[in-house]
């Protein structure tokens, strides 16, 4: 008998299973292995300051250090490196954005993230930066596909993984125990990412899914020591001269495959940032599990009390998942209340 069955081994299901196992719970993860899942193709960034108006990311002061502590701990356990602090170079596109940033610098709570207060200019042969940019401290990159693959092996070693497409017709949730193909558990929690739109228990999930596409480019003699963010983001990859370029954000789309529209959009955005020559190596696409109010979606079904969901990580799963997996674990094991912004009850009134 298991304490929890978790469906999905993206960043959400991985983190939830990890915190539950750390709390001595017996967990079984069911995942069908999707190399093109949102987590597997994410650029893996955590960024404390985002958007055109340079706003501090929601819960950044708590969430980003907690993500670092979690991934560092997992690096030690798995004996591999996959978490890297990075300097983020944010480009200004006008005098106005320079002034907006100066105003932000003076606000309380921002100084920790300022590498320095000066406007910096990069080599114009490489980057179009007439207005320069500024450097942000405290960002990082998780090599997400590497981490997920290593963590999957750990689950296999612990005999805590079943590789298959979850079949709802084999799930029985009557009474206090759930059963699935002869396996019994106290609770089942779904972390299927965007695939949750097919979950019959959470049809009320207020998804507003967003397709994201990225390109992998080869750029020689470029900046491998910083992530450059303008209309497009340029993220150095561990392999020499390779850079992740992204990402698009499409509310309307035909499928989850790389598209010509996506490629053209990225190249159009990139042309405002990159002046160095490049070669396209690959293109990837996935659907982000975004919720209407841009907050995670966590809790239990109002009628089936042992059927839960841990989802809605949207555009920020890398930083949200560790923090809220621990939060949900404390809710499950110590009855701590879920914070209202993430509790699914906000959509149930
Ligand atoms: C192009 C792009 C770039 C991104 N960049 C970033 C970034 O830099 N930083 C950041 O924080 N976030 C980023 N994101 C968002 C991030 O990827 C998501 O927030 C996160 O991956 C969501 O994780 P998840 O575990 O909820 O879903 P997923 O990663 O989709 O995982 C769901 C898992 O469930 C499994 N599954 C689903 N249905 C079933 C079933 N029926 N049976 C068995 N298994 C099933 C799938 O195989 C998969 O492994 C990006 C997303 C995209 C698309």
How is residue 162 written in tokens? Answer: 């079943």
Q: What is the pLDDT of residue 194?
A: 96
The three-state DSSP-derived secondary structure of 109-150 is CCHHHECCCCCECCCCCCECCCCCEEEEEEEEEECHHHHHHH
Atom of ligand 1 nearest to the CA of 34: 47
Question: Does 47 map to a domain?
Answer: no
**Same domain, yes or no, for 131 and 255?**
yes
247 lines ligand 1 (CB under 6 A): yes
Virtual CA dihedral for 70, 90, 280, 148, nearest 10 degrees? Answer: 10
**Same domain, yes or no, for 150 and 254?**
no
Task: Record the pTM.
Answer: 0.97
Region 99-121 average pLDDT? 83
31 lines ligand 1 (CB under 6 A): yes
**Same domain, yes or no, for 300 and 240?**
no
Minimum CA distance residue for ligand 1 atom 39 = 192
- Give the count of beta carbons closer than 10 Å to the beta carbon of residue 315: 18
- Give the count of beta carbons closer than 10 Å to the beta carbon of residue 303: 8
38 lines ligand 1 (CB under 6 A): yes
**Same domain, yes or no, for 235 and 273?**
yes
Q: What is the pLDDT of residue 329?
A: 98
Q: Which of 267, 288, 309 is the last residue of a domain?
A: 288
Atom of ligand 1 nearest to the CA of 39: 21
Q: Which of 242, 259, 288 is the last residue of a domain?
A: 288
228 lines ligand 1 (CB under 6 A): no
Q: What is the pLDDT of residue 109?
A: 82
Q: What is the pLDDT of residue 247?
A: 95
Percent of the chain having pLDDT more than 90? 89
Tell me, what CATH number does 324's domain have?
3.50.50.60
318 lines ligand 1 (CB under 6 A): yes
- Tell which wins on pLDDT, 101 or 313: 313
Q: What is the pLDDT of residue 50?
A: 85
pLDDT in tens, 291-317: 999 999 999 999 999 999 999 999 999
How is residue 143 written in tokens? Answer: 């090599």
* CA atoms of 307 and 201, how far apart (whole Å): 8
Question: Does 50 map to a domain?
Answer: no
Tell me, what CATH number does 214's domain have?
3.30.9.10
Q: What is the pLDDT of residue 51?
A: 79
Question: Does 20 map to a domain?
Answer: yes
Q: 326 C-alpha vs ligand 1 centroid, how far in Å?
A: 18
- Evaluate whether 136 touches 90 at the Cβ level (below 8 Å): yes
**Same domain, yes or no, for 223 and 339?**
no
pLDDT in tens, 119-169: 999 999 999 999 999 999 999 999 999 999 999 999 999 999 999 999 999
Q: 9 C-alpha vs ligand 1 centroid, how far in Å?
A: 9
| Structural domain for 337, as ranges | 2-41+146-202+293-347
Region 258-266 average pLDDT? 98
Number of domains in the chain: 2
- Evaluate whether 189 touches 5 at the Cβ level (below 8 Å): yes
Query: pLDDT band for position 265 (50/70/90)?
Result: very high
166 lines ligand 1 (CB under 6 A): yes
Cα dihedral across residues 327, 329, 331, 335: positive or negative: negative
**Same domain, yes or no, for 221 and 264?**
yes
97 lines ligand 1 (CB under 6 A): no
pLDDT at 118 over 90: no
* CA atoms of 255 and 211, how far apart (whole Å): 9
**Same domain, yes or no, for 217 and 231?**
yes
Q: 165 C-alpha vs ligand 1 centroid, how far in Å?
A: 16
Query: pLDDT band for position 112 (50/70/90)?
Result: confident
pLDDT in tens, 53-89: 788 899 999 999 999 999 999 999 999 999 999 999 9
With both helix axes pointing from N to C terminus, report the angle between 144-157 and 11-22 in degrees, rounded to the nearest 10: 40
Question: Does 327 map to a domain?
Answer: yes
**Same domain, yes or no, for 154 and 90?**
no
- Least confident window among 37-46, 85-94, 107-116, 150-159: 107-116
Query: pLDDT band for position 345 (50/70/90)?
Result: very high
Question: Does 62 map to a domain?
Answer: no
């Amino acid at each position: 008998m298991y304490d929890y069955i978790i469906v999905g081994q993206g960043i959400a299901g991985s983190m939830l299973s990890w915190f539950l196992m750390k709390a001595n719970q017996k967990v079984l993860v069911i995942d069908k292995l999707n190399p093109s899942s949102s987590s597997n193709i994410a650029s893996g960034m955590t960024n404390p300051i985002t958007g055109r108006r340079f706003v501090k990311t929601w819960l950044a002061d708590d969430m980003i250090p907690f993500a670092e502590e979690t991934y560092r701990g997992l690096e030690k356990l798995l004996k591999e490196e996959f978490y890297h602090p990075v300097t983020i170079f944010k480009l200004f596109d006008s005098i106005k954005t320079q002034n907006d940033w100066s105003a932000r610098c003076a606000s309380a709570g921002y100084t920790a993230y300022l590498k320095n207060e000066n406007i910096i200019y990069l080599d114009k042969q490489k980057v179009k930066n007439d207005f320069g940019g500024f450097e942000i401290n405290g960002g990082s990159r998780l090599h997400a596909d590497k981490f997920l693959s290593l963590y999957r092996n750990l689950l296999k070693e612990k005999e805590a993984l079943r590789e298959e497409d979850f079949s709802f017709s084999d799930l029985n949730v009557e009474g206090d125990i759930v059963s699935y193909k002869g396996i019994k558990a106290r609770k089942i929690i779904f972390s299927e990412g965007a695939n949750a739109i097919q979950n019959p228990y959470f049809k009320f999930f207020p998804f507003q899914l967003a397709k994201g596409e990225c390109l992998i480019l080869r750029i020689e003699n470029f900046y491998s020591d910083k992530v450059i963010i303008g209309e497009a983001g340029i993220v150095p990859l561990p392999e020499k001269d390779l850079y992740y370029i992204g990402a698009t954000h499409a509310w309307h789309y035909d499928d989850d495959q790389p598209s010509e529209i996506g490629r053209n959009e990225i190249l159009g955005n990139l042309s405002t940032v990159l002046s160095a020559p490049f070669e396209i190596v690959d293109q990837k696409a996935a659907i982000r599990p975004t919720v209407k109010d841009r907050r995670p979606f966590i809790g239990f079904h109002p009628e089936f009390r042992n059927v839960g969901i841990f989802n809605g990580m949207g555009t920020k799963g890398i930083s949200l998942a560790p923090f809220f997996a621990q939060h949900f674990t404390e809710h499950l094991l110590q009855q701590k209340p879920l914070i209202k912004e993430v509790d699914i009850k906000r959509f149930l009134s």
